[in-house]
Amino acid sequence: MSELCVGIGAGSRVGAADIVAAVLDVCGDEQVGVVATLDRKAPLQPFLDAAEVLGARLIGYAPDRLAAVPVPNPVGDVADSVGTPSVAEAAAILAANGGPLIVTKHVTNGVTVAVSRSVS
């Protein structure tokens, strides 16, 4: 069975509750297996706490790995600030081992969420 992989992009002022609310806004009751983000965000408490609340594994990816993933909605300003034109969409695709995006980036209260389903 495939699992839901959620890519998250968020600013420094975002808390765990904001991340969880954004994920639930997009995923509803569906179980999230992986939360993925930028490697330097993954060890931060809001991301750790959100992954725990969601019951998901947390994975961080380096900007160069994220930048190598083709995404439908790259953003130049994001590339300038973090080194990759996509965090949420690219992280979701990588976490799903190349699985397709089922939700392209969706922004809620400063949290960008994208969702892929893992490939077997």
Condensed to tens digits (0 to 9), the pLDDT of residues 67-105 reads 999 999 999 888 888 999 999 999 999 999 999 999 999
DSSP structure string for 45-95:
HHHHHHHHHHT-EEEEE-HHHHHTS--SS--HHHHHHHSSS-SHHHHHHHH
Please report, for the domain that includes residue 26, its CATH number: 3.30.420.180
What confidence tier does 44 reach under pLDDT thresholds 50, 70, 90?
very high
What confidence tier does 119 reach under pLDDT thresholds 50, 70, 90?
confident
- pLDDT > 70: percent of the chain: 98
Contact (Cβ atoms closer than 8 angstroms) between residue 103 and residue 91 = no
- Predicted TM-score (pTM) of this structure: 0.95
Query: With 70 as the cut, is the pLDDT of residue 2 above it?
Result: yes
| Number of compact structural domains in the chain | 1
Q: Which domain holds residue 72?
A: 4-117
CA distance 115 to 32: 9
Q: Please report which helix (H) or strand (E) contains residue 101, including its range.
A: strand 101-108
Token pair, residue 26, equals 């997009």
pLDDT score recorded for residue 1: 55
Mean pLDDT of the chain: 94
The one-letter code for the residue type at 67 is A
Query: With 90 as the cut, is the pLDDT of residue 107 above it?
Result: yes
3-state DSSP call for residue 109? coil
